[in-house]
Amino acid sequence: MTDMNPDKARRSASLHRPDARTRRRNAAEKRFRACGLAAILLGLFFLLVLVATILRNGAPAFTRTVLEIELTLSPAQVDAAEAEVFKTRAYAQLFIAALQDQLETRGLDVAFDAGALERIVGQPGGTIRAHFQANPGQIGEPVVFELAASSRVDGYFNGRVSRATLQDSRFLQASDLDLVDALADAGILRRAFNLTFLTGADSGVDNPGGAGIGAALVGSVYMMFVVLALALPIGIAASIHLEEFAPKNRVTDLIEVTISNLAAVPSIVFGILGLAVFIQVLHLPQSAPLVGGLVLTLMTLPTIIISTRAALKAVPPSVRDAALGVGASQMQAVFHHVLPLAMPGILTGTIIGLAQALGETAPLLLIGMVGFVARGYPEGVVAGFTEPNSAMPAQIYTWAARADAGFYDKAWGGIIVLLVFLLTMNLIAILLRRRFERRW
């Protein structure tokens, strides 16, 4: 040992002048904090961009272009139309006449032919006839019709379609847009809230205007019910058994490793398992939310079990000791004391699992919950867990894959609905957490 006195070396430095070592340490800390802040800001920036893009692109899905027209048909006109061979065409002609009438009263003189009008609002004859057949009392009275415009017109209003892009389209021609402009100026064509999008089912590939996410939303809700009703009790029961009761030996070690591995298995593998077991062996109905929910339950279970075990582990052992010390049985100790304390953690894990399940598309492809057009909606779909349905992410996937650009808006709009659903679920979980949260 040298005779250097560490006390003396220390005392020689002034507290007002940080030594080199301290300066280096402080600089390193500053750098690290700056990096952390930068990472958070970068993340926030991307989140902002994402949300803004989704809102901007998705908003048009919630409105649609409608052609609003007041129509008064006399009983004689109805009788005459009903006497025709092509009844809907007769109604369409009445509609065209009324439209021309209205344009003239507003002093707009635009020439248009039936073809152009058909490209703008389709064939409204059927809709009008159906309305008067259902409400014969309204014959002779003024009735306001809101007729959905075609997706190209919709796109024109969104800025997705312009005269330049319409040159050789058979769905809408550039010359038709003069009529569209005139109708818009007259207030006959306007944007209106699209309730169909929220309540309706998917439509055919050539009718993006009629497509709705409602049926898929119902499907997703049903699946979440199945997942929650199965995965939560099974997951918690399994975790409690593994964590509190099972002896620590090779078998439980093996089970633990298996659960961890299952959490990392690609979801499509669970899909094919569901197809093989639930549909091919157990003969459960195809495309049904019940089967989808079962598959997603299998997928969610490992997540819930792992997080529940972590939450149970985090409860201080002194709480268990205290309960056992006053003569509680192990089950009483777990259910009266440990589980309530672990509940916030369990809820977090459950909500992560449910969110994963909600956003899952791949396994649903294999059990036929995708590419589904509802017939007999809403009764058929809303009826139950075993009726064919789709799920929101699968529906969005289908729309995104369709050729018609009108579905593009729908896909973005669907994502907004999906996110709102997810946030609602999270909010409920956070509120529940608040109730359970206790300190120890």
Partner 1 sequence: MFDAPHPTLATPTTPPTRTDPKIAACNVDVHYGTTHALRDVSVEIEDRTVTAFIGPSGCGKSTFLRCLNRMNDTIDSARVTGVILLDGEDIHDRRVDPVQLRARVGMVFQKPNPFPKSIYDNIAYGPRIHGLARSKADLDGIVERALRRGAIWEEVKDRLQASGTGLSGGQQQRLCIARAIATEPEVLLMDEPCSALDPIATAQVEELIDELRASYSVVIVTHSMQQAARVSQKTAFFHMGRLVEYDATSKIFTNPEDARTESYITGRIG
Q: Name the token pair of 311.
A: 């939450």
Query: Closer CB to partner 1, residue 272 or residue 324?
Result: 324
Q: Shortest gap between Cβ of 305 and partner 1 (angstroms)?
A: 20
Tell the residue number behind the tokens 């996410």, with chain if given.
Answer: 213
Q: Shortest gap between Cβ of 256 and partner 1 (angstroms)?
A: 15
Q: Are 429 and 348 in contact (CB under 8 A)?
A: yes
Q: Are 319 and 382 in contact (CB under 8 A)?
A: no
Q: Shortest gap between Cβ of 148 and partner 1 (angstroms)?
A: 58
Q: Shortest gap between Cβ of 331 and partner 1 (angstroms)?
A: 10
Tell the residue number behind the tokens 């944007």, with chain if given.
Answer: 191
Q: What's the distance, CA 390 to chain centroid? A: 12
Query: Closer CB to partner 1, residue 129 or residue 337?
Result: 337
Query: Closer CB to partner 1, residue 105 or residue 249?
Result: 249
Tell the residue number behind the tokens 């309706």, with chain if given.
Answer: 200
Strand partners, 143: 71
Q: In what order do the strands lie in the sheet with 189-193?
A: 142-148, 63-72, 189-193
Query: Closer CB to partner 1, residue 42 or residue 322?
Result: 322
Query: Closer CB to partner 1, residue 198 or residue 246?
Result: 246
Query: Closer CB to partner 1, residue 434 or residue 438?
Result: 438
Distance CA 192, CA 196 (A): 11
Q: Shortest gap between Cβ of 315 and partner 1 (angstroms)?
A: 10
Q: How many CA atoms lie within 13 A of 67 on its CB side?
A: 28
Q: Shortest gap between Cβ of 61 and partner 1 (angstroms)?
A: 48
* Crossing angle of the two packed helices 214-240 and 406-436, in degrees rounded to 10: 30
Q: Shortest gap between Cβ of 425 and partner 1 (angstroms)?
A: 28
Query: Closer CB to partner 1, residue 269 or residue 319?
Result: 319
Query: Closer CB to partner 1, residue 25 or residue 336?
Result: 336
Query: Closer CB to partner 1, residue 334 or residue 396?
Result: 334
Angle at 392 between CA 388 and CA 396, to 5 degrees: 110
What is the signed CA dihedral for 310, 316, 319, 324, rounded to 10 degrees? 70
Query: Closer CB to partner 1, residue 23 or residue 336?
Result: 336
Q: Shortest gap between Cβ of 254 and partner 1 (angstroms)?
A: 17
Return the SS3 of 2. coil
Q: Shortest gap between Cβ of 248 and partner 1 (angstroms)?
A: 5
Q: Shortest gap between Cβ of 278 and partner 1 (angstroms)?
A: 38
Q: Is the peptide bond before 378 cis (omega within 30 degrees of 0)?
A: yes
Return the SS3 of 64. strand
Q: Shortest gap between Cβ of 346 and partner 1 (angstroms)?
A: 16
Q: Name the token pair of 276.
A: 């093989």
* Beta-carbon count within 10 A of 434 CB: 9
Query: Closer CB to partner 1, residue 72 or residue 318?
Result: 318
Distance CA 115, CA 419 (A): 41
C-alpha distance from residue 176 to each of 86, 153, 169, 210, 402 (Å): 25, 10, 11, 22, 25
What is the signed CA dihedral for 418, 420, 423, 425, rounded to 10 degrees? -70
Helix (H) or strand (E) holding 189: strand 189-193
Residue numbers at the binding site for partner 1 (CB under 8 A): 247-248, 316, 318-330, 332, 336-337, 341, 438-440
